[in-house]
Copies of this chain bind each other. A is one copy, B any other.
């Protein structure tokens, strides 16, 4: 009998779904809209209906399904209980119990960034490592810590929230979380853009960034063209992120660090700005770490969700 698993990644606008063989081959992937109306009460029933439809279409019976893994944007504890997910309209309830009741199939759930980290460990840039820091540089900075092959979930599902580590006492602007000086304010796509705009406004230095669109992409394109202002921005970005990763590594002693998210599209050059600061400040026992780029892109979530349920229910 074949064994299958579903991996589901719930985002603010779309839900990504994947059907995998238990060995990890992705057989099919697709998306449905995330209906956040009515406190997001339609999201899980929508997912359940869609999974049942796919099972019918592929002629897969419930017995052949190991389980359904779910990643969602919010703190989700190790029992599969979400503690408020603002983007989805969710309060506090068990994702696991709710979906199991409809589907009669084992369900496991976790925070989307943590689940994506598990995906990168399983089939992406972190393959071969059981102890991993995955940092996702997108609109914000997300993180997932893998300890001994498992997600670090934490007491209330807020493990791996490395974007909100305090890295700058002198910051005057507020982060989205309400604090000031979070890593996210310097190392996200938004953060890199902000640093570049500050430098452009604060000096009259020539730069190919002047007058054009300023984004993480244009900044790192300018870095590749050896634009000196852009290099200063990249240096600052690398200092904040490298130092912060060194602190995290003192705590978790990783084998590898994987960098993903939109900013990571700049490529290996990113690592050149991060690694020297990391190596300067990290404890020697964690100095010898492999840096690599994430490879699964937007599929990391469905891969990780599949892995989560395989680890628990297989």
| Given A166-B247, A252-B152, residue A285 in contact with residue B161 (CB < 8 A) | yes
Q: Chain B residues near A78: list those with CB within 8 A.
A: 148
**CB–CB A148/B153 < 8 A:** yes
Bound together, the chains give a CA A157 to CA B252 distance in angstroms of: 9
Q: Specify which of B159, B247, B285 is in contact with A252 (CB 8 Å cutoff).
A: B159
Give the oligomeric copy count: 2
Q: Chain B residues near A255: list those with CB within 8 A.
A: 155
Bound together, the chains give a CA A130 to CA B153 distance in angstroms of: 12
Interface size on A, residues (CB 8 A): 46
Q: How far is the CB of A174 from chain B (nearest CB, A)?
A: 13
- Max chain B CB contacts within 10 Å: which of A147, A157, A181, A284? A147
As a 0/1 sequence over residues 152 to 172 of chain A, the CB contacts with chain B under 8 angstroms (1 = contact) are 111111111110111000000
Q: Chain B residues near A155: list those with CB within 8 A.
A: 129-131, 253-255, 286
**CB–CB B246/A159 < 8 A:** no
Bound together, the chains give a CA A78 to CA B154 distance in angstroms of: 20
22 pairs of residues in contact across A and B, judged by CB atoms under 8 Å: A129-B155, A130-B155, A131-B154, A143-B251, A148-B153, A152-B252, A152-B253, A153-B253, A156-B253, A156-B285, A157-B253, A157-B285, A158-B286, A159-B251, A161-B253, A164-B283, A166-B243, A177-B284, A179-B283, A244-B247, A248-B251, A251-B252
